[in-house]
Structure 1
């Protein structure tokens, strides 16, 4: 085991944990702290907080210490966590599934992760996820449920729930997240983080080519601060320039409250939506109440179709790897039943899916010529209680609950538009409820400039969860 260069006290570790990635990197740049000490401080915080939250699924402390000793780059020594499901050398990729519990250490690093390695970030381990990322909560049978640090009986969201809760609690300042139907924005909303879903193909390749995942998924790093996410969005896209301050231009903002099914948000979410709209108007932006410019139910059905195909693909791949009997025993009921549901899809469903990708994309493009940004809720309800979307819940109940809960975010995955969740306000119980802003293709920087302005107007940096470094 590489020796620690300097003892790090718990008090120091907690103090460092209050800083975002840029703040921690500044300590190294000034010589106040070494990269090794940043990593040691993160290990202390993980030891303190993870037993109660169940967020970390893989740790290799010795390797992290060794990497810190050789770290180079502007962010050298800053700790980050990777989502289970992302291939990375030396770490297993179990995808939250019992069928992959014995997965060996990875050997592949894709361009996305390689870009952050080059900046000097030190990977500390992997985070808890639902099986194959197919649920908006994080309660896999393999690892057990992850807890929301704001309220331990509530879900941190999913599928990047472990990542979001680890950042929200202060274990690390950055964690990888991937979004195929809301999996960046949902946990960011539930945990009070900045969660940017890049537009289609707006980040470097993070995984093997896959037609459905390439259509839907964007990757980014979650953080508590806009400057961290703006930096991560640029690095993850392979570009040097990034947004660093609010924009001066006043925006035309369409405020759309109803979900894809034409239903309004629940009362707590509606209250946050109204507050966000009022905040934007108070800053001089032109906010106009609007309706969705797409056929919402048709888009919802298209997303359900593609989600069923993802489950079928996961089941087929697992059967090919371990056999049908073992797959039936080791895969979760939600995964198996969703795949079985997809067996009933017809050619007409496939046609409707691909037609909606084109039709909805064109409608959104046209709408975003009239407006700069769309404001909407992230989720129809506040963060759910653990167990409400557990993978063992009856399929019919799960179907209704899930696609009601997740009825705003899938639109942007199907159309390829960027969107961001911001932690502007919280429910009366203190649990965050995010506000979502979407923009035209290539509008990531516009969203981040708006985020900088809103962060300055309704700052959240001093808000910490119950189970966090602030309470430890």
Structure 2
């Protein structure tokens, strides 16, 4: 049995270092899981990031684990809504609060099983992943480990909080409009949203979700993220490692959002510092104007997000056995879905035309540059309540899409992007820097991330509510 002090010390290690303890025989996989359970029990009461605990299931799995993969025996957490055998998928919704355990998992979670990771349960997420904050009525808010009055981001906000605090070294996250990069930015961890089709299927076939969503494991180290990217690729590959002689890149950085507005001054300062760091590392860096039609991308994302909400509302209505839908779905979900009712078939056409147009604009940009650097979000982490799903719809709609007015570009175009936790703002909150590349250039981004991590390490930077406090 690992004592509480050692459990916290283990939590300060990344997944590779934790796996080394098992490989060397210093700890068993079961002891690694016991240590993670102790950290969750110590830290989660302040953060409310873990919504389903499958501790006995995890301990049993650890005791019977076979194989010799690189991260064998490392505990992690799944996002609520990711199917896994023996655990319910509630999607942050009161509609599913009594959902029974699933009988099967996804190919994505099965791949992680085969790689020897051990799931401890599920993390907090907003209803159906429709918000960039994690404040569902079902579970209550997930709090930011740096300042519990602020949001941990969304929709993978619980995942961001558990990794930032050191409860676990890895946590599953999914990104349909920024939901990997947003919590990574808000919580000060690393998050790569991969190219469309770069990971195995993580959910059932769905035209909008297949078009928009990518999956990853949030982590504190780039090597852990590179491993996750490789092991969940359709054709499994060897994880990328740091090459200190990698070629110098042409990086363009832009500050304005989709609607030609500047980010808040603290966010702008972080992006400029990140650009200066890249320049010191020998990359060619140039400030540019946004290289695509921002208002068109903004329109397209608002349209497809409303259609997604309407699809979720319709399927929820069909599954409701008794009672009123508005008693089990949040106002944000209901009203966002209703906003699609006035849309026409021409609007559907516009979504895909404008997404394709943005894709061509990015192809032209990436023929001249290797990487685009922008903010992840227009503001640093918002106070809890600012985007709560019970807020009045019209002002909430404007605030929400303004807040996320950078990340949806890569979802619509199928291109990769990552949030890198290089710097903090003057109030001690993390502000991620978003680096994006052309489709299929995920490993180019990871190689840059390795270099940035070495030049401006963040491993020793821990929030107030964490194993390192």
TM-score of the superposed pair, with normalisation by structure 1: 0.97
Structure 2 residue 14 is matched with structure 1 residue 20:
yes
Distance 1:442 1:78 in 2: 28
292 and 468 in structure 1: CA distance in 2 versus 1, 3 angstrom threshold: same
Q: How far is the alpha carbon of 1:153 from its aligned partner? A: 0.3
Aligned equivalent of 2:123, options 122, 127, 130? 127
Distance 2:367 2:176 in 1: 25
* 1:240 corresponding residue in structure 2: 237
- Give per-residue Cα distances to partners, 1:342-398, cap 9 Å, x unaligned: 111122221211101111111111111110000000000000000000001110111
Aligned equivalent of 1:348, options 346, 353, 359? 346
Unaligned runs of 5+ in 1: 1-6
153 and 405 in structure 1: CA distance in 2 versus 1, 3 angstrom threshold: same
* 1:55 corresponding residue in structure 2: 49
Aligned equivalent of 2:358, options 357, 360, 380? 360
Distance 1:107 1:240 in 2: 29
Distance 1:325 1:264 in 2: 46
Structure 2 residue 158 is matched with structure 1 residue 162:
yes
Distance 2:466 2:94 in 1: 29
Distance 1:241 1:21 in 2: 17
Aligned residues: 465
Structure 2 residue 211 is matched with structure 1 residue 210:
no
Question: Higher mean Cα deviation, 101-110 or 21-30?
Answer: 101-110
1:68-467 alignment runs, 5 A limit: 68-72=62-66, 73-74=68-69, 75-238=71-234, 239-246=236-243, 248-322=246-320, 325-467=323-465
Q: How far is the alpha carbon of 1:130 from its aligned partner? A: 0.3
SS at match of 1:376: strand
SS at match of 1:237: coil
* 2:468 corresponding residue in structure 1: 470
Is the contact between residue 82 and residue 106 of structure 2 (CA under 8 Å) also seen in structure 1? no
Distance 2:366 2:103 in 1: 42
Distance 1:19 1:351 in 2: 48
Distance 2:220 2:448 in 1: 16
- Give per-residue Cα distances to partners, 1:261-292, cap 9 Å, x unaligned: 11111101000010000000011100011112
Is the contact between residue 242 and residue 445 of structure 1 (CA under 8 Å) also seen in structure 2? no
SS at match of 1:435: strand
Is the contact between residue 177 and residue 219 of structure 1 (CA under 8 Å) also seen in structure 2? yes
Is the contact between residue 189 and residue 219 of structure 2 (CA under 8 Å) also seen in structure 1? yes
Q: How far is the alpha carbon of 1:66 from its aligned partner? A: 0.1
Is the contact between residue 71 and residue 121 of structure 1 (CA under 8 Å) also seen in structure 2? no
SS at match of 2:150: coil
Q: How far is the alpha carbon of 1:324 from its aligned partner? A: 8.2
TM-score of the superposed pair, with normalisation by structure 2: 0.98
Is the contact between residue 68 and residue 76 of structure 1 (CA under 8 Å) also seen in structure 2? no
Question: Higher mean Cα deviation, 215-224 or 339-348?
Answer: 339-348
